[in-house]
């Protein structure tokens, strides 16, 4: 009864909302204030992915987006080629993979076949959001989409 009355008069705690907003805004702030860290992370991310597939380093796009309750890192990494044998290229090697790679699944989140085509005309930045969604025919090239993962606040 008391609980019902509390809810009726809007007495549910807003401090938890404040806490949540504060946590998110500070994570975003800290990322903005540490561009070197973000760059280093981007580099490391690409280095790791490059061990498995050949990616277009020039067109990599990493953004951070505040979603409902999390801060998501969205990485759009166009794939140029996939090693047909599934051999892992040792780290530090950036050698080009055989160019006649057969269609192969690129990544779970990019279900289009990995055709050996360079990305078609670069889409306008506005479309970035849409490209995150699965199976969008607008995707110009196979792309690795890394998303999600709550980042903990770093001072």
Binding site for another protein (CB under 8 A): 1-3, 11-16, 18-19, 21-23, 25-26, 29, 33, 153, 155
What is the spatial distance between Cα 138 and Cα 120, in angstroms, rounded to a whole number?
10
Instruction: In angstroms, give the least distance from the CB of 4 to another protein.
Output: 11
Instruction: In angstroms, give the least distance from the CB of 115 to another protein.
Output: 47
Instruction: In angstroms, give the least distance from the CB of 153 to another protein.
Output: 8
20 or 47: whose CB is closer to another protein?
20
Q: What is the enclosing helix (H) or strand (E) of 141?
A: none
8 or 121: whose CB is closer to another protein?
8
23 or 59: whose CB is closer to another protein?
23
Residues 6+ away with beta carbon under 8 Å from 123: 131, 138, 140
What is the spatial distance between Cα 94 and Cα 51, in angstroms, rounded to a whole number?
8
Instruction: In angstroms, give the least distance from the CB of 41 to another protein.
Output: 19
15 or 85: whose CB is closer to another protein?
15
Q: Is the dihedral of CA 106, 112, 114, 118 positive or negative?
A: negative
Instruction: In angstroms, give the least distance from the CB of 12 to another protein.
Output: 7
Residues 6+ away with beta carbon under 8 Å from 144: 49, 53, 55, 75, 76, 77, 79, 106, 107, 109, 110
């Amino acid at each position: 009864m008391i609980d019902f009355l509390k809810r009726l008069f809007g007495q549910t705690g807003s401090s938890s909302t404040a806490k949540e907003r504060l946590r998110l805004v500070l994570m975003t702030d800290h990322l903005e204030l540490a561009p070197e860290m973000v760059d280093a992370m981007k580099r490391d991310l690409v280095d790791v992915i490059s061990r498995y597939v050949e990616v277009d380093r020039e067109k990599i796009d990493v953004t951070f987006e505040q979603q409902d309750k999390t801060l998501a890192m969205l990485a759009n990494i166009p794939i140029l080629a996939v090693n047909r044998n599934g051999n892992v290229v040792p780290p530090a090697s950036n050698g080009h993979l055989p160019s006649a790679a057969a269609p192969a699944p690129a990544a779970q989140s990019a279900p289009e076949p990995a055709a050996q085509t360079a990305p078609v005309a670069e889409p306008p930045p506005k479309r970035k959001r849409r490209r995150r969604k699965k199976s969008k025919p607008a995707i110009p090239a196979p792309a690795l989409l890394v998303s999600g993962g709550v980042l903990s606040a770093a001072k």
